[in-house]
Amino acid sequence: MSLEILFIFSFLLLPPLVLWRCSRFCEKHPSTIPFRIVPLGCLTMFVVAALLERAITLLLKTVLERNVPHVVSRWGGLVVWLFSILLGLAVINSLSKRLKRGGKTPHWWLFPAVFAGFAAITTAISVFFSVFFLPVSFDRESDSWSTIFLPKFQNSPIAFEQRPIHPFLAEYDYRIRLGKRNNRRYFRLWTNTGGRTYINVYRLSEDKLLLKDKDCSYLIDTARMQVYLVHCGHGADGSESTILSAIPLSEKPFDGMGSSEVYFTDGTSAQAIPYNLDLGTCEYMGCIMDDSFYTPAVQPEGEGHPRYRRNSSPQDE
């Protein structure tokens, strides 16, 4: 649980707890009723929305191993929050009816006023932590990897994973995940130190994929369960035509590379091996962009991040 969530949770829970303990004082002052029940309704909205969003994401990505479609992410989030708000309002209404029986009732306008006040302060807490504490407490080595699933080859799941390494700049760690849940292997890629994700994906054969981003090219061999950093030769027209060498990667991050070697952060290195593979027959399959995989029909082959294509929508594989 993050410090921000702990503060919000405490802020919404402590006032009603204190007032519920002071029952005699509250009986004499009916205006305290909104302060006893509105925070509990807000807390219900907050907790239910967070749990539902987490459960849906885990179901799709961990259990079913599928991307979260863009439409589901947008409208699903709206439905979750609408359901949470209605449930929170139902809690407020139920508790208010219970407390109003046989006693004085507060002015009706106190309920929306208290609700607005708690909502504003909760938002202020969130903004405060994001501005002042996030850059200090940001943990690059956390396990908060987001997953983008690629087309399967020989029934072997392939996932591209990324995580932010800076609290507000577009810098990311990348890795490839191969295999099913009981036999997974991870391969770290070159860190993206600037710019959003945009990686072209090509089919080389029934068991090989080529990934090309602005920095490097990678070969995914599902038959060998291995990912390589590849060095390509160029044809007469200047385009990449042949893979000349391949450097096997591992789960260890690397901070240096050349045409024949990569240097891992633990002080070890990996050498290139000769690799003769013709790229003339590679087939463009789509691209990894931001948080989704896009098919060629949605994002034609290109270089760079096509920010001007705002009407596109990701396709779930």
Residue with tokens 């932590």: 129
202 and 180 within one domain: yes
CB 256 within 8 A of CB 171: no
152 and 97 within one domain: no
- Is residue 299 in a domain? no
Give the whole-angstrom CA distance, residue 95 versus residue 41. 9
- Is residue 301 in a domain? no
The domain of 236 spans 146-294
133 and 175 within one domain: no
Confidence (pLDDT) at 10: 87
Confidence (pLDDT) at 306: 64
Confidence (pLDDT) at 113: 92
Coil, helix or strand at residue 93 = helix
Domain count, the chain: 2
In the chain, which ranges are E strands?
A: 146-153, 156-164, 172-178, 185-188, 198-205, 208-212, 217-221, 226-234, 240-248, 254-257, 261-264, 269-271, 273-278, 283-289, 292-294
- Is residue 206 in a domain? yes
- Is residue 300 in a domain? no
280 and 150 within one domain: yes
Give me the sign of the Cα torsion angle 45, 46, 51, 57: positive
The DSSP call for residue 206 is: T
Q: What are 288's strand-pairing partners? A: 199, 293
The last residue of a domain, from among 137, 156, 190? 137
Neighbouring CB atoms inside 10 A of 227's CB total: 28
196 and 156 within one domain: yes
Give the whole-angstrom CA distance, residue 201 versus residue 211. 5
163 and 250 within one domain: yes
- Is residue 255 in a domain? yes
Give the whole-angstrom CA distance, residue 301 versus residue 239. 14
- Is residue 269 in a domain? yes
CB neighbour list of residue 272: distance below 8 Å, 6 or more residues apart: 231, 245, 246, 247, 259, 260, 261
Q: Which residues of the chain have pLDDT under 70?
A: 1-3, 60-75, 101-104, 130-143, 152-155, 167-169, 196, 304-317
Confidence (pLDDT) at 312: 44
One-letter identity of residue 134: L
With CA atoms as reference, report the closest residue to 216 among 151, 262, 252, 171. 262
- Is residue 93 in a domain? yes
Q: Torsion angle, CA of 77/78/80/86, rounded to 10 degrees? A: 160
With CA atoms as reference, report the closest residue to 46 among 80, 18, 92, 79. 80
Give the whole-angstrom CA distance, residue 1 versus residue 316. 31
Confidence (pLDDT) at 248: 94
Confidence (pLDDT) at 284: 92
Coil, helix or strand at residue 316 = coil
Q: Which long-range contacts (CB under 8 A, 24 or more apart) does 72-81 make?
A: 77/53, 80/49, 80/52, 80/53, 80/56, 81/45, 81/49
Confidence (pLDDT) at 21: 84
Residue 32 tokens read as 């305290």
7 and 66 within one domain: yes
- Is residue 303 in a domain? no
